[in-house]
Amino acid sequence: MKFAVVTYGTEGDTRPMALLCRALVDAGHEAHLLADAATLGYAADLNITTTALAGDIRAILLQDATREARRGGFTETARAFARLAATNSEAWLRTTTAVAQGCDVIVLGGLAAFIGLSAAEALRVPAIGTGLIPITPTSAFASPFLRPGAVPRFVNRASHKLINALIWRAFKPSINAARAAACGLPARRHLWNEHPMLYGISPSLVRPPADWPPNATVCGQWLAPVAEWIPPKDLSEFLAAGEPPIYLGFGSMAALGGPSLMTQVLEALRGRRTLLYPGWGNVDAADLPANVHLLAEAPHGWLFPKTSLIIHHGGAGTAHAAARAGVPSVVVPFAGDQFFWAERLLRVGAAPAPVPAKGLSADRLSLAISEAGKSAMRDNAAVLGASIAKEDGLTAAVAAIEALTKSALTSGGVSRADYV
């Protein structure tokens, strides 16, 4: 089978899709990944065929989203990303339909989800949605884009529908303009709801809600298998020089924090041995204290079990990697669904209450670090890690994609009427 896989977002959005492509190829299929150019390096390392989509999400984070994320509002952040989509939707759709010619299915996710759905409609092939955030409406929990506890439980399901509608409303003008210009498709009035959704998330963190429809599936985490990796000499020497260190990294969100945030975080360490991964932030090794080692790229699956604590932003991928390692977390969420994952780790006892990036102080973070070091939390994290270690989310996802594709091909494919 031949798959076009399209996504758009940060490293945390693209890497799981690259792993899914690798799993599809290993199962004997063809997979072609489309994503932001700055996030495709990992896919290249996996020997996945790739095409870069127009745009620069790192620049968007630096230029547009910084102000919005610091204000902490989901609506403002969505508007920043909607501006990116408004600029690039037509180019994304033209590129996707060109690459996907002759494919059996379009697999889609991230900011390019509506592009993938429109390309599938234009090419009359099935679409399979993916996600690292559970957005299918349910009464079990509120929309992950809302702060936990922001709405009463009885409006949980309504909150999903409202947030999903707001997202569609923000993207709708540019998507419909792209549909007309790139493919001659009619304007789309309503949000897509009928296509399958495969979630690369752990049931140990999000139990599949009983009221989800049959087209929503929790596959388990989409993380790289733990493999042998030869670390650089300086990292090996640092790890061997003392007790397991703290890992500190905010990934792509590091671009939003600014120097004042890093100053507070470094002070909160109180001299503890720490590995600092700068992500998309600018960090000069000469400015770091002696207890902090500046870390280049290292596989989470290899590194995290060698640490004593993981301080991170709460992105879905990093939260799952920390959970799988069986190591406690301290979550410093910036925006969006990061608060949701912070609450999920808190709920299972693998992290203390989150310390939001906005208004973070060294004292608050230091207290959270101390709490995460208690034996009960270490025990809870170990139990969680053992549970997640039993999962094989990529195998489950490939099996689901194969079954869905065979079903669509057997039934004669799809028509435009299936999407309107």
pLDDT at 296: 85
Question: Looking at this protein, which amino acid is placed at residue 306?
Answer: K
Provide the residue count of the chain.
420
Helix (H, G, I), strand (E, B) or coil at 195: coil
51 CB neighbour count, 10 Å cutoff: 16
More confident residue, 258 or 243: 243
pLDDT of 248 reads 95
Classified as helix, coil or strand, 413 is coil
pLDDT at 190 over 70: yes
Q: Residues 56, 36: contact at Cβ < 8 Å?
A: yes
Is the Cβ–Cβ distance between 42 and 15 less than 8 Å? yes
Average pLDDT over residues 90-95: 98
3-state secondary structure 273-287: CEEEECCCCCCCHHH
The pLDDT value given to residue 258: 64
Give the residues across from 246 on adjacent strands: 274, 309
Give the span between the Cα atoms of 323 and 336, in whole angstroms: 20
| pLDDT tens track for 155-185 | 999 999 999 999 899 899 999 999 999 999 9
Output the pLDDT for position 288. Answer: 86
pLDDT of residue 12: 85
Please calculate the CA angle 134-136-138 and round it to the nearest 5 degrees: 100
Confidence of residue 359 (pLDDT cuts 50, 70, 90): confident
Q: Which two tokens stand for residue 244?
A: 């397991």
Q: How confident is the model at residue 69 (pLDDT cuts 50, 70, 90)?
A: very low
Residue at 21: amino acid letter: C
Question: Could you write out the three-class secondary structure of 312-328?
Answer: ECCCHHHHHHHHHHCCC
Q: Answer yes or no: is pLDDT of 74 > 50.
A: no
Closest CA to 170 of 77, 91, 304: 77
Superfamily classification of domain 233-388: Glycogen Phosphorylase B; (3.40.50.2000)
Write the DSSP symbol of residue 132: S
Indicate if the alpha-carbon torsion angle 356, 360, 364, 368 is positive or negative.
Answer: positive
Fold of 2-221+392-418: Rossmann fold (3.40.50)
Return the residue matching tokens 């690039």: 88
Chain segment 38-48, per-residue pLDDT in tens: 999 999 999 99
The helix (run of H) or strand (run of E) holding residue 157 is: helix 156-178
| 385: helix, strand or coil | helix
pLDDT confidence of 279, banded at 50, 70, 90? confident
User: At 254, is the pLDDT very low, low, confident or very high (cuts 50, 70, 90)?
Assistant: low
pLDDT level of residue 252 (50, 70, 90 thresholds): low
Strands (E), 80-166: 105-108, 127-131
Instruction: Pick the range with the lowest mean pLDDT from 4-8, 225-229, 402-406.
Output: 225-229
Max CA distance (Å), the chain: 64
- Beta pairing partners, 127: 106
Window from 299-303, 308-312, 352-356 with minimum mean pLDDT: 299-303
Structure tokens at 11: 């490293």
CA distance 246 to 12: 21
**This prediction's pTM:** 0.89
Residue with structure tokens 């299918």?
Answer: 136
What stretches of 197-241 show up as alpha helix (H) in DSSP? 233-240
Domain ranges, ordered by start, for the chain: 2-221+392-418, 233-388
d(CA 314, CA 145): 13
pLDDT, position 304: 96
2-221+392-418 and 233-388 in the same fold: yes
Return the minimum-mean-pLDDT range out of 10-14, 22-26, 345-349.
10-14
Q: What average pLDDT does this structure show over 407-420?
A: 58
H or E element in which residue 59 lies: helix 57-60
CA distance 80 to 62: 11
Answer whether residue 79 shows pLDDT above 60: yes
pLDDT 10s digits, 383-400: 999 999 999 999 999 999
Question: What's the confidence (pLDDT) of residue 420?
Answer: 40
Tokens of 391: 């999962």
Structure tokens at 218: 């929790």
pLDDT per position as a tens digit, 201-225: 999 999 999 999 999 999 999 988 7
Write down the pLDDT at residue 416: 41
Phi, psi of 84 (to 5 degrees): -60, -45
Q: Cβ-count burial of 395 within 10 angstroms (0-12 exposed, 13-18 middle, 19+ buried)?
A: middle
Task: Using pLDDT thresholds of 50, 70 and 90, give the confidence band for residue 382.
Answer: very high
- Out of 73-77, 140-144, 181-185, 260-264, pick the least confident: 73-77
pLDDT the model gives residue 255: 54
CA dihedral of 189, 190, 196, 202, whole degrees rounded to 10: 130
Average pLDDT over residues 252-259: 63
Q: What's the half-sphere exposure (Cβ side, CA atoms, 13 Å) at 375?
A: 0
Tokens 């079903």 found at: 407
Q: Tell me, what amino acid is at 191?
A: L
What does the pLDDT read at residue 400? 97
Give tens-digit pLDDT for 148-161.
999 999 999 999 99
* 416 vs 320 pLDDT, higher one: 320
**Mean pLDDT for all residues in the chain:** 90
Residue type, 1: M
Can you say whether residue 220 is alpha, beta or left, with left for phi > 0 and alpha for psi between -120 and 50 degrees?
Answer: left
Q: Would you state the structure tokens that stand for residue 203, as one six-digit string?
A: 């049931």
pLDDT at 278: 84
